[in-house]
Chain A
Amino acid sequence: MKLVFTLAFLLSTTTFAKSRGEELFNLCMSCHGQQGYGNHKVGAPAIAGLPKWYITKQLTIFASGGRGKHPDDDAGNRMRPMARTLTPEDIKDVADYVSILKPQTPEKTLHGDLEKGKALFVVCAACHGQNGDGNEVLHAPTLKISNDWYLVTQLKNFKNKIRGADAVTDAFGATMSPMAATLPDEEAMKNVITYVQSLKQ
C-alpha cells in the first residue's frame, strides 16, 4: 500500500513539475513569443519545433560568438547575449523543450516568382531536401517552419559574410555561406523562399 502511495506521489510530481527546459523557455518567450512562433518586430524568428540538434548547435555558436557577433548583425547581437546566459546543460534542456513545441505554419509575407524559385531551389534541395525538411547528416535545418522574412534575412547574412563567414567558429554555417552566394540578388532570395513556402501544402 505504502509503495503504491509513494509511486503515485512520485508520478504526480514528475508530471506536474515544470521541466527545466520549460522554465528556461520563460526567457525566450519575451522575444520568440509565448508559443515560440516568433516576433517580427524584434527580428526573432519562430523556433517552435526546430530539430533539437539544430537548436543546440545554434545556441552553442551564439554563445561562443560564432554567430551574431558581426558588427552589422543587429538581430544576432540581440540573440547572442541571451545564449551567453545559458550553460551547456541549460542549452540541452531548453533545446529539448523547444524541439517538442508544436511548429506553426508561418504567415506568408512574400510574393515572389514561384517558377524562378523552383529552379533556384534545385541547388538547395541537395542539402535541405526535396521538400525542405532538412537533413541532419548534412546539418541543414528544415526551412518549412521558419518565417519567410527571417529566411531572407539569413540568406543576405550568409551572402554578406555576416553569418557563416568563419569555418573555424561556425563550421556548418560556412558550408551554407557559398550556397547563398549563388543567389544573385534579393529578388532571387525572395523567389526561392516563396517556393520554400509553397512546399508546405
Chain B
Amino acid sequence: MMEQIITQASSYAAQIDNVIHLIAAIVGVWLAVAFYVFFSFIFKYTRKRHPKAAYITGETHEDGKWVHRAHFVVIACDVVILVFAAMAWHHVKQQLPPAEATIRIVGQQWAWKFTDPGLDNQLDTVDDINTIDELHVKVNTVYHFKLEAKDVLHSFSVPVFRLKQDAIPGRVITGWFKPTKTGEYDIQCAEMCGIGHGVMAAKIVVETPEAHAAWLEQHKSQNITQNIKTKNLKKLAINK
C-alpha cells in the first residue's frame, strides 16, 4: 500500500511500512465496526419503531460489560501495535549494524552539507569530498552518518528511506541506513529552522558501485586541493 504511494529504497523501509499497515488495518477494522453500529442504530431506533428513549446509567454489571470488554480488546490491539513499533524502533534507531562507510551530514541555515570519506573511506582526511545539497551513496551498502547542526534545529528526512532524524546543535548523532534501490530521491529538512526552511531541500543519489566510483574519481582532485587549503587539514593535524 505505502509502497505504491512512495517507493521503498532502504533496507528498513518495508518494516516501517508494515507498522503503518498494521495500524491502518487495526484502526480500520474498528472504524468499520463503529460505523456499522452507528448506522444500524440510526436505522433500528427510528422514532417510528422506538418512540421513547431509555436512559441507561451503565451501573449494573450487565450494562457495564459492553464498556469493559471493548476496553480490553482495545488495549490488546494497542499492545500488538506497540510490540511491532518497538521492534521497528529498535532495528532502525537503537542498534547499529557494522558500517561499510561513514559520512558526515551537517544541517545549516539553509543547506545540507555532506562529507563523503573519499577513496580511502576514512573521514577527516585530505581526500574527503564535500558537497552541498547533493549526497551520493552506493546501493546495498551500510552507511553510518554523523549528523550535526551548525546553528539551529534541523531534521534530516529521506522519505523513500523512511528515515527522519533531528539534528541538534552541539550534538553529533550517529545513525545508519542501507540504500536498496538506485535512483535520485528527495531530502527535506523536517524541522522548522527559519525563513528558508521550506526550500532547504537536497538530493540523494543512490548509485551502483561503478557509478559511485566514477563520481569519486571525478571529484577527487578538485577537493584535495580545496581541503588542503581550508580547515580540513588543520583538523587533521589537531587529531594526530
Contacts and interface: CB of A to CB of B under 8 A. Distances in A.
Interface stretch (A71-79, A106-114, A120-128): A71-79
B66 to A, nearest CB: 56
A57 interface: no
Nearest to A84: B199
Contact of B109 (A30, A71, A77): A77
A72 B235 CA distance: 14
Contacts of A160: 229-230
Contact of A78 (B109, B113, B226): B109
B229 A77 contact: no
Interface residues of B, number: 18
A80 B200 CA distance: 10
Q: Summarize B's interface: helix, strand, loop or mixed.
A: mixed
B199 A77 contact: no
A30 B195 contact: yes
B84 interface: no
A42 B110 CA distance: 13
A82 B113 contact: no
Nearest to A80: B111
Interface stretch (B19-27, B127-135, B136-144, B161-169): B127-135
Contacts of A71: 113, 130-132
A161 B226 CA distance: 8
B93 interface: no
A74 B108 contact: yes
Interface string A80-109: 111011000000000000000000000000
A70 interface: yes
A69 interface: yes
Interface in A29-74: 30-31, 69-72, 74
